A and B are shown apart, each in its own frame.
Chain A
Amino acid sequence: AQSVTQLDSQVPVFEEAPVELRCNYSSSVSVYLFWYVQYPNQGLQLLLKYLSGSTLVKGINGFEAEFNKSQTSFHLRKPSVHISDTAEYFCAVSETGANNLFFGTGTRLTVIP
Protein backbone atom coordinates (compact mmCIF):
# COMPACT_ATOMS: atom_id res chain seq x y z
CA ALA A 1 0.00 0.00 0.00
CA GLN A 2 1.11 3.53 -0.67
CA SER A 3 1.14 6.46 1.70
CA VAL A 4 2.09 10.09 1.38
CA THR A 5 3.41 12.37 4.10
CA GLN A 6 3.35 16.12 3.89
CA LEU A 7 5.16 17.21 7.02
CA ASP A 8 4.19 20.88 6.86
CA SER A 9 0.52 21.61 7.30
CA GLN A 10 1.04 25.36 6.88
CA VAL A 11 3.81 27.33 5.21
CA PRO A 12 3.79 31.12 5.38
CA VAL A 13 6.23 32.87 3.07
CA PHE A 14 6.80 36.43 1.96
CA GLU A 15 6.05 37.48 -1.60
CA GLU A 16 8.98 36.95 -4.01
CA ALA A 17 10.70 34.60 -1.57
CA PRO A 18 11.47 30.99 -2.55
CA VAL A 19 9.41 28.13 -1.16
CA GLU A 20 9.74 24.39 -0.80
CA LEU A 21 6.80 22.15 0.11
CA ARG A 22 7.89 18.75 1.28
CA CYS A 23 6.45 15.41 0.27
CA ASN A 24 7.62 11.93 1.17
CA TYR A 25 6.00 8.71 0.08
CA SER A 26 6.23 5.06 0.87
CA SER A 27 5.55 2.27 -1.57
CA SER A 28 6.82 -1.21 -2.28
CA VAL A 29 6.28 -0.81 -6.02
CA SER A 30 6.99 1.69 -8.76
CA VAL A 31 4.92 4.82 -8.49
CA TYR A 32 3.80 7.90 -10.31
CA LEU A 33 3.90 11.16 -8.36
CA PHE A 34 1.76 14.26 -8.62
CA TRP A 35 1.25 17.67 -7.11
CA TYR A 36 -2.21 19.21 -7.16
CA VAL A 37 -3.25 22.71 -6.10
CA GLN A 38 -6.61 23.69 -4.65
CA TYR A 39 -7.55 27.35 -4.73
CA PRO A 40 -10.34 28.50 -2.41
CA ASN A 41 -13.73 27.08 -3.39
CA GLN A 42 -12.29 25.28 -6.37
CA GLY A 43 -11.38 21.72 -7.32
CA LEU A 44 -7.98 20.10 -7.53
CA GLN A 45 -5.82 21.28 -10.41
CA LEU A 46 -2.79 19.35 -11.60
CA LEU A 47 0.45 21.29 -11.10
CA LEU A 48 2.90 18.69 -12.33
CA LYS A 49 3.55 14.98 -12.53
CA TYR A 50 6.40 12.52 -12.55
CA LEU A 51 5.85 9.36 -14.59
CA SER A 52 9.36 8.49 -15.75
CA GLY A 53 12.50 10.03 -17.23
CA SER A 54 14.10 13.18 -15.89
CA THR A 55 13.79 13.47 -12.13
CA LEU A 56 13.31 17.24 -12.33
CA VAL A 57 9.80 17.99 -13.43
CA LYS A 58 8.53 21.43 -14.39
CA GLY A 59 4.89 22.33 -14.03
CA ILE A 60 2.55 25.24 -14.41
CA ASN A 61 2.86 28.62 -12.67
CA GLY A 62 6.65 28.33 -12.32
CA PHE A 63 6.60 25.33 -9.99
CA GLU A 64 8.97 22.40 -10.24
CA ALA A 65 9.56 19.22 -8.28
CA GLU A 66 12.37 16.73 -8.01
CA PHE A 67 11.88 13.01 -7.66
CA ASN A 68 14.43 11.47 -5.35
CA LYS A 69 14.06 7.72 -5.28
CA SER A 70 16.64 7.09 -2.56
CA GLN A 71 14.98 9.65 -0.28
CA THR A 72 11.47 8.65 -1.45
CA SER A 73 10.71 12.33 -1.79
CA PHE A 74 9.02 14.60 -4.31
CA HIS A 75 9.42 18.12 -2.94
CA LEU A 76 7.76 21.04 -4.70
CA ARG A 77 9.67 24.28 -5.22
CA LYS A 78 9.20 27.74 -6.61
CA PRO A 79 12.02 30.31 -6.69
CA SER A 80 9.78 33.34 -6.22
CA VAL A 81 6.17 33.14 -5.04
CA HIS A 82 3.29 35.49 -5.80
CA ILE A 83 0.21 36.39 -3.79
CA SER A 84 -1.82 34.31 -6.25
CA ASP A 85 0.05 31.17 -5.18
CA THR A 86 -1.82 31.19 -1.87
CA ALA A 87 -3.65 27.85 -1.90
CA GLU A 88 -3.65 24.30 -0.56
CA TYR A 89 -1.12 21.98 -2.18
CA PHE A 90 -1.53 18.22 -2.25
CA CYS A 91 1.07 15.61 -3.07
CA ALA A 92 -0.30 12.35 -4.44
CA VAL A 93 1.03 8.96 -5.50
CA SER A 94 -0.36 6.17 -7.61
CA GLU A 95 0.93 2.74 -8.30
CA THR A 96 2.00 2.29 -11.94
CA GLY A 97 -0.80 0.49 -13.70
CA ALA A 98 -3.40 1.53 -11.15
CA ASN A 99 -5.97 4.30 -11.22
CA ASN A 100 -6.46 5.47 -7.70
CA LEU A 101 -4.45 8.27 -6.17
CA PHE A 102 -3.31 8.40 -2.57
CA PHE A 103 -3.13 11.94 -1.29
CA GLY A 104 -1.19 13.60 1.49
CA THR A 105 -2.94 15.75 4.04
CA GLY A 106 -2.06 18.92 2.17
CA THR A 107 0.06 22.00 2.85
CA ARG A 108 -1.53 25.40 3.06
CA LEU A 109 0.78 27.94 1.45
CA THR A 110 0.11 31.50 2.47
CA VAL A 111 2.01 34.24 0.64
CA ILE A 112 2.41 37.36 2.71
CA PRO A 113 2.61 40.72 0.90
Chain B
Amino acid sequence: EPEVTQTPSHQVTQMGQEVILRCVPISNHLYFYWYRQILGQKVEFLVSFYNNEISEKSEIFDDQFSVERPDGSNFTLKIRSTKLEDSAMYFCASSGQLNSPLHFGNGTRLTVT
Protein backbone atom coordinates (compact mmCIF):
# COMPACT_ATOMS: atom_id res chain seq x y z
CA GLU B 1 0.00 0.00 0.00
CA PRO B 2 1.38 3.46 -0.87
CA GLU B 3 2.72 5.42 2.08
CA VAL B 4 3.55 8.95 3.03
CA THR B 5 7.23 9.10 3.90
CA GLN B 6 8.95 11.70 6.03
CA THR B 7 12.60 12.46 6.52
CA PRO B 8 14.44 12.73 8.79
CA SER B 9 12.76 10.78 11.58
CA HIS B 10 14.52 12.92 14.17
CA GLN B 11 16.08 16.37 13.76
CA VAL B 12 17.98 18.25 16.43
CA THR B 13 18.71 21.92 15.85
CA GLN B 14 19.81 24.96 17.79
CA MET B 15 17.48 27.82 18.54
CA GLY B 16 17.51 30.38 15.75
CA GLN B 17 18.51 27.91 13.05
CA GLU B 18 16.46 27.14 9.98
CA VAL B 19 15.10 23.64 9.49
CA ILE B 20 13.43 21.95 6.55
CA LEU B 21 11.25 18.93 7.14
CA ARG B 22 10.67 16.77 4.12
CA CYS B 23 7.73 14.69 3.02
CA VAL B 24 6.90 12.57 0.01
CA PRO B 25 3.10 12.31 -0.22
CA ILE B 26 1.29 9.47 -1.95
CA SER B 27 1.93 9.96 -5.64
CA ASN B 28 -1.59 10.54 -6.99
CA HIS B 29 -2.76 12.66 -4.05
CA LEU B 30 -3.60 16.30 -4.57
CA TYR B 31 -4.05 17.69 -1.04
CA PHE B 32 -1.15 18.01 1.39
CA TYR B 33 -1.03 18.91 5.04
CA TRP B 34 1.27 19.51 7.96
CA TYR B 35 0.25 18.85 11.54
CA ARG B 36 2.27 18.97 14.73
CA GLN B 37 2.03 17.33 18.13
CA ILE B 38 3.82 18.90 21.05
CA LEU B 39 4.73 16.22 23.58
CA GLY B 40 1.70 15.34 25.69
CA GLN B 41 -0.65 17.56 23.73
CA LYS B 42 -3.13 17.12 20.92
CA VAL B 43 -2.31 16.90 17.24
CA GLU B 44 -2.75 20.39 15.78
CA PHE B 45 -3.41 21.48 12.21
CA LEU B 46 -0.79 23.76 10.71
CA VAL B 47 -1.48 24.14 7.01
CA SER B 48 -3.09 22.58 3.96
CA PHE B 49 -1.83 22.92 0.41
CA TYR B 50 -3.58 22.36 -2.89
CA ASN B 51 -2.85 23.34 -6.47
CA ASN B 52 0.52 24.82 -5.50
CA GLU B 53 -0.81 27.18 -2.92
CA ILE B 54 -1.85 27.26 0.72
CA SER B 55 -5.58 26.59 1.02
CA GLU B 56 -5.89 26.93 4.80
CA LYS B 57 -3.59 27.69 7.69
CA SER B 58 -3.94 27.89 11.44
CA GLU B 59 -2.83 30.72 13.68
CA ILE B 60 0.18 28.60 14.63
CA PHE B 61 1.43 28.89 11.05
CA ASP B 62 2.98 32.35 11.34
CA ASP B 63 5.61 34.08 9.20
CA GLN B 64 8.30 31.77 10.54
CA PHE B 65 6.71 28.86 8.68
CA SER B 66 6.53 28.21 4.97
CA VAL B 67 5.65 25.27 2.76
CA GLU B 68 6.77 24.37 -0.69
CA ARG B 69 6.28 21.70 -3.28
CA PRO B 70 9.59 22.12 -5.09
CA ASP B 71 9.01 19.28 -7.54
CA GLY B 72 6.38 16.69 -8.37
CA SER B 73 7.05 14.50 -5.39
CA ASN B 74 8.30 16.44 -2.35
CA PHE B 75 6.39 18.64 0.08
CA THR B 76 8.48 20.57 2.59
CA LEU B 77 7.89 22.54 5.76
CA LYS B 78 10.47 25.22 6.56
CA ILE B 79 10.85 26.90 9.92
CA ARG B 80 12.94 30.01 9.39
CA SER B 81 14.28 30.65 12.87
CA THR B 82 13.43 27.88 15.30
CA LYS B 83 12.32 28.52 18.85
CA LEU B 84 12.34 26.16 21.80
CA GLU B 85 8.57 25.89 21.60
CA ASP B 86 8.80 24.53 18.05
CA SER B 87 9.99 21.25 19.53
CA ALA B 88 7.33 18.74 18.53
CA MET B 89 6.48 15.82 16.30
CA TYR B 90 5.60 17.09 12.84
CA PHE B 91 3.31 14.97 10.70
CA CYS B 92 2.84 15.26 6.98
CA ALA B 93 -0.38 13.95 5.43
CA SER B 94 -1.95 13.72 2.01
CA SER B 95 -5.35 12.92 0.58
CA GLY B 96 -6.66 12.21 -2.88
CA GLN B 97 -9.78 14.33 -2.73
CA LEU B 98 -11.40 16.94 -0.54
CA ASN B 99 -12.91 15.22 2.51
CA SER B 100 -11.29 11.87 1.81
CA PRO B 101 -9.34 10.47 4.75
CA LEU B 102 -5.84 11.74 5.35
CA HIS B 103 -2.89 9.40 5.09
CA PHE B 104 -0.20 10.32 7.59
CA GLY B 105 3.53 9.78 7.59
CA ASN B 106 5.43 8.49 10.61
CA GLY B 107 6.45 11.99 11.62
CA THR B 108 9.65 13.93 12.20
CA ARG B 109 10.56 14.61 15.79
CA LEU B 110 12.07 18.10 15.95
CA THR B 111 14.09 18.98 19.02
CA VAL B 112 15.19 22.60 19.39
CA THR B 113 17.95 23.15 21.95
Contact = CB atoms under 8 A, between A and B. Distances in A.
Candidate in B42, B93, B103 with the most chain A CB atoms within 10 angstroms? B42
B107 A100 contact: no
Interface string A19-56: 00000000000001010100001111110010100000
B56 A44 contact: no
Nearest to A6: B42
B44 interface: yes
A41 B44 CA distance: 18
Interface stretch (A66-74, A78-86, A91-99): A91-99
Report, as a range, how many residues of chain B touch the other chain.
20 to 34
A102 interface: yes
Interface string B31-67: 1010100000111110010100001101000000000
B4 interface: yes
Nearest to A94: B99
Given A43-B4, A43-B107, A99 B31 contact: yes
29 contacts: A32-B99, A34-B101, A42-B106, A43-B4, A43-B91, A43-B104, A43-B105, A43-B106, A44-B43, A44-B102, A46-B103, A90-B42, A92-B43, A94-B99, A96-B99, A97-B98, A98-B56, A99-B31, A99-B48, A99-B50, A99-B98, A100-B45, A100-B48, A100-B56, A101-B43, A101-B45, A102-B45, A103-B42, A104-B42
Closest 3 interchain pairs by CB?
Answer: A44-B104, A103-B43, A43-B104
Given A90-B43, A99-B55, 6 more contacts: A44-B43, A44-B104, A51-B99, A99-B95, A100-B58, A101-B43
Interface of B: 4, 6, 31, 33, 35, 41-45, 48, 50, 55-56, 58, 91, 93, 95, 98-99, 101-107
